Amino acid sequence: MTEHLVKGTQAAVRRIPRPDVLIEDGGRPDIPGWELRALWTPGHSPGHLCFWEPANRLLLSGDHVLPSTVVGTPEPDESHPDPLGDHLRALARLRGLDAAEVLPAHEHRFTGLEHRLAEIDAVHQGRLAEVLAGLRAGASTVWEIADHVTWHRPFRNLRGVGLQNAVTDTFGCLAALVATGAARVDDGEPARWRLADA
């Protein structure tokens, strides 16, 4: 069941069209009247960019920072082994921009970027702590561990996209813990995770 959920996500990602124009971190797209600067902010997607407009103190945040939703990250893979870690580092990169307003790809424009970054970070740190608590309690598969995390409803009641997102987000937390050396994974069917010092 886990593999089926994850493969559905991977298949959807493979259908994403290739970009027509590649913009590097720090790149300045030629848009008359604007001084946009590209900020590489991977995590929610591997090549995500935000754009900073210093003259008007505007941040075009795409899917990286939304006013009320905390976006997920894709399942880790060989080319992107720690998408949650990438996302957290990219969030930290936006601190200190002194944005007057944030223009996201979804929901609505908002102010208070620093406050929102702190809220998003707290959600992710809370999930990481719950995943660690699940490992300490003896949970080892992604399903067992996801049941220790607080979602918008109890894990056993999640269905469809909500269940898929919970499993994928749990994979992301586990990969972040492996990347920092706090956890280890034993490959197999199913893969099992444990605390690094266990």
For helices 2-14 and 160-179, give the axis angle rounded to 10 degrees: 90
Within 10 A of 9 (CB to CB), how many other CB atoms are there? 18
Rounded distance between C-alpha atoms, residue 38 and residue 49, angstroms: 6
Rounded distance between C-alpha atoms, residue 95 and residue 106, angstroms: 21
pLDDT of residue 159: 93
Q: Which tokens in the block code for residue 158? A: 């999640």
Q: Beta strand pairing status for 101-104 and 58-62?
A: parallel
The sheet carrying 58-62 orders its strands as 37-40, 49-53, 58-62, 101-104
Three-class secondary structure of residue 31 per DSSP: coil
The pTM assigned to this predicted structure is 0.86
For helices 160-179 and 113-136, give the axis angle rounded to 10 degrees: 80
pLDDT, tens digit only, all 198 positions of the chain? 455 555 544 455 556 677 788 899 999 999 999 999 999 999 988 889 999 999 999 999 999 999 999 998 988 888 889 999 999 999 999 999 999 999 999 999 999 999 999 999 999 999 999 999 999 999 999 999 999 999 989 999 999 999 999 999 999 999 999 999 999 999 889 999 999 987
Rounded distance between C-alpha atoms, residue 131 and residue 142, angstroms: 10
CB-CB contact of 132 with 177 (8 Å): yes
Q: Cis peptide before 81, with omega less than 30 degrees from 0?
A: no
Residue 122, class by beta-carbon neighbours within 10 Å (0-12 exposed, 13-18 middle, 19+ buried)?
A: exposed
pLDDT of residue 71: 92
Q: Which domains does the chain have, with CATH numbers?
A: 2-195 (3.60.15.10)
CB-CB contact of 73 with 174 (8 Å): no
pLDDT of residue 78: 87
pLDDT of residue 45: 87
